[in-house]
Amino acid sequence: MEQKTEKKKEKRGCAVKAFFVMYILSGLMLVLLAYLVSKADRQETVARVGVIVIYIVSCLAGGFVMGRWKQRRKFLWGMFAGLLYAAVLIGIAAAIGGGSLPPASFLATVLPICAFSGMLGGMIG
């Protein structure tokens, strides 16, 4: 009985660790992106590309952490991490947008990018 509770705590600990890595990395890269955008000539283009790069790197790192911890089906755990990251992004965008879902173009971009980069991170890990 005690082993089951330890395993559950371990599972939660891994997910928390992965999301902690993802969001700390996102925050640091957003600070760097803000600096780069302030120095760039084409600010809108730099911002758009930078945000996509942040999605990719953050989900790749989260998938890597999940893949290192899980020894079976690492790609699925990585994709799970990426999709949860995307779900939080969509939730934040909906909250900022007054409760309505973000546009379909946002969803069509964010979901596959986060899912596939998380999956890749899981396979690498």
68-82 pLDDT, tens digit per residue, is 888 788 889 999 999
Largest alpha-carbon pair distance within the chain?
61
Amino acid at 55: Y
Distance (Å, rounded) from C-alpha 98 to C-alpha 58? Answer: 26
- Return the C-alpha torsion angle 53, 58, 63, 65, nearest 10: 140
Asked if residue 52 lies in contact with residue 110, where contact means CB atoms within 8 angstroms, the answer is: no
Asked if residue 120 lies in contact with residue 78, where contact means CB atoms within 8 angstroms, the answer is: yes
The string of pLDDT tens digits covering residues 13-37 is 777 888 888 989 999 999 999 998 9
More confident residue, 123 or 7: 123
The string of pLDDT tens digits covering residues 35-69 is 989 888 888 888 889 999 999 999 999 999 988 88
The percent of residues in the chain predicted with pLDDT above 90, rounded, is: 42
Q: Which pLDDT value is given to residue 14?
A: 73
Q: Which pLDDT value is given to residue 8?
A: 55
Lowest mean pLDDT across 22-26, 31-35, 98-102, 109-113: 98-102
Asked if residue 101 lies in contact with residue 112, where contact means CB atoms within 8 angstroms, the answer is: no
Q: Which pLDDT value is given to residue 4?
A: 58
Q: Look up tokens 């991170």; give the residue.
A: 121
- Give the helix/strand (H/E) hosting 41: none
